[in-house]
Amino acid sequence: MQARIYTDNDANPSAIKPGPVAIIGYGSQGRAHARNLRDSGHDVIVGARAGGRAEAAAKGDGFAVMSPAEAAKAASLIALLTPDMSHAEVYTRDIAPNMSAGDALLVAHGFSIHYGQIQPAKDVDVILVAPKGPGDLVRREYERGAGVPSLFAVWQDASGKARDKALAYCAGNGGTAGGAIETTFAEETETDLFGEQAVLCGGASELVIAGYETLVEAGYQPEVAYFECLHELKLIVDLMYEGGLAKMHSFISETAKYGDLVSGPRVINAETRERMREVLRDIQTGSFARDWVLENQAGKPRYAALLREDLDQPIEHTGERLRARMGWLQPGANAGQA
């Protein structure tokens, strides 16, 4: 069954008025949400630590800035947009003691709610609005009168108006202009984690590395292997992003197309899919979440070691040398372009 696409006509902006809406976490998403909501006519305040970069940035953008606790107390809707692993601390210390019955807590990713890192009081609404793009794109699309497609969901409806609040916030952020899809906290969280781990980050990077190493081990030059397995990946991803498999097939050669059709299933096969199912089961059962929470509590030693190892691979050193000669990738290369 196809999902319904919600538009501006489905949202009632007054559901989150008169406000104010508090944005806690003024990073990429937080800054975009705050400015978009303000430009949509909502009263927005920012909660940030005194003396920090977030406070300076928010004040520079013209927002009233106060401590996270003060912002939570003043607001009727609190958008918690700090990193996932900080949610429990920020919520417990700053937000929970300052929420009133009927207020709404909003997150842009369901991890902390879905896995029980936060357990909100029963008399507040808990909602989710997740733009499907980075903060700078969310802002750019809003500024041009469009929007980035978004997901929205309700975890807890204490007021009877939680869904209206989620749609209103989504609209104020440009999400209903781009097209919004209703989901659940479980679906948003589990699919997001799976996509990152099995395809977008973990899967794609491991496929690139394996391809590079296969060519180098066979005696081909590392530089040539880099071009074929990493550099040109952007060309293919851009085509699929713009027009799906159909556009990719319409732009690649007949030889490449035939190779895709006959050899792709030899690499990504039944065994690969079973490994993907294992990844998904770890996400669904909470095993991955427990590991990640414990890793953070321990100071992230395994994470740090794995990251160092990942960034010290031969493909990274080859790429660094080659990219230094690609003028279009250097800082300021596109300055002044329309």
| Positions at the binding site | 26-29, 49, 135, 192, 196, 228, 232, 253
Which residues are annotated binding-site positions for Mg(2+)?
A: 192, 196, 228, 232
DSSP code of residue 9? G
Which residue spans within the chain are E strands per DSSP? 21-24, 44-47, 64-66, 77-80, 104-107, 125-131, 150-156, 180-182
Using alpha carbons, list the distances in angstroms from residue 75 to 20, 69, 131, 171, 318.
5, 10, 22, 19, 51
Which residues are annotated binding-site positions for NADP(+)?
A: 26-29, 49, 135
CB atoms inside a 10 Å sphere around CB 53:
11
Which residues are annotated binding-site positions for substrate?
A: 253
Beta strands 150-156 and 125-131, pairing class: antiparallel
Secondary element (H or E) of residue 309: helix 301-311
- Write down the catalytic residue from 33, 42, 109, 114: 109
Say whether 249 is catalytic.
no
The distance between the two most distant Cα atoms of the chain, rounded to a whole number of Å, is: 67
Reduced to 3 states (helix: H, G, I; strand: E, B; else coil), residue 302 is: helix
Show which residues are catalytic.
109
